[in-house]
Amino acid sequence: MIKQITTEKLPIKLWLADIEQGALEQARNLANLPFAYKHIALMPDCHQGFGMPIGGVLALDEVIIPNAVGVDIGCGMCAVKTSLEHIPHHELKNLMTGIRSVIPLGFKHHKNMQDEKFMPQNHDPHSMEVVSREYDSARGQVGTLGGGNHFIEVQKGNDGKIWIMIHSGSRNIGKQVADHYNRLAIRLNEQWKSPVPRSAQLAYLPLDTKESQEYIKEMQYCVDFAFANRKLMMDRVVEIFSDHFKGRFNAFPMINIAHNYAAKEKHFDKDVILHRKGATLADEGTIGIIPGSQGTKSYIVKGKGNPESFNSCSHGAGRVMGRKQAQRNLNLKEEIKKLNEQGIIHAIRSVRDLDEAASAYKSIDQVMKNQSDLVDILVELTPLAVIKG
């Protein structure tokens, strides 16, 4: 931990030295919630979000807040270590072309609905209001990357191996569930004359209500859908590698970890609903993934189980510029030059792409230094080629 703020009802514990004013105000709102427990934890990649800062960890007593999970429910990372030790540059370009041919990017979906076997299996989707409405649409989106900061990246590890990493979430079905239950919570909070001001964007659902149980059920479906989405993409990327290298390629078991969800956990001897919004589980021994930004290193880590962070760590580098701000302020030629000098096959082509330039993000080196009490680094990964949504 870097510092602590004690001016609010609960302490705010920060794993960063400097925090933008908007994120700090959101953290203060969290610290003054009547049902918040123990303290608020802010990870080193923390920046302003909607209602709750990205990189925030919040423990609640018998209450759940849809906006403290966010709209991309279950968004997370997966990574696969391969048996390869080197890929020539021209072959890497061919592989990227192959990946783009089977994985729709950005707002694109599959032209046909995917087989139901690729969807989450341990649910009855038709028993859920929003999921049932969005189910057929989601079958066209499973195995698609999405936009924003989502990516597929080929990397070289300091273990000598080539790795494949994917960052993606629950696509539109997660957003629909999040928006539906946030609107419902706002309406109910107004009926109950909630002590939490609407301006805080933290409308809540008590666990003993039908609405909260429905949200939890649909949220968990979206977490599982996000995992199914990443797995299908990874399976198809691995298949492209296998076809290309013809018997010279093997893949190790996939690592997967989410960073937008709420779950019942025990912390400081109390059962709470722990919300991680842009934060990753870092229980003792848990293997996690912390990506950098486009053109910077990523990390495979092992959690230390630090109770002060509610056994959590950062989910990435964290933004220092908003998307529009990056497009206005960054120099396209300079950002392209930086990536070209590293020999990275990158995704910056126009001013529109500058929102995902490395300069729009915090230093991943500093982020990792700030959380040395939360995780141990197992493998350091250097980017070779990246596809952005």
Strand spans (E) along 282-353: 287-290, 298-303, 312-314
Query: Which listed residue (39, 180, 315, 346) is catalytic?
Result: 315
Task: For residues 238 and 273, give the distance between their C-alpha atoms in angstroms, rounded to a whole number.
Answer: 36
End-to-end CA distance of the chain: 34
Task: With residue 4 as reference, give the H or E element that holds it.
Answer: strand 3-5
Is 315 one of the annotated active-site residues of the chain?
A: yes
| Residue type present at position 26 | Q
In the structure encoding, which two tokens stand for residue 121, read together? 């299996």
What number of other Cβ atoms are within 10 A of residue 144's Cβ? 23
What number of other Cβ atoms are within 10 A of residue 208's Cβ? 9
The count of residues in the chain is 389
In the structure encoding, which two tokens stand for residue 220, read together? 């968990």
- Looking at the DSSP assignment, which residues form a beta bridge with residue 205? 64
Task: For residues 49 and 29, give the distance between their C-alpha atoms in angstroms, rounded to a whole number.
Answer: 13
Q: Can you tell me which residue has the tokens 């991680």?
A: 276
Q: Which residues carry out catalysis?
A: 315
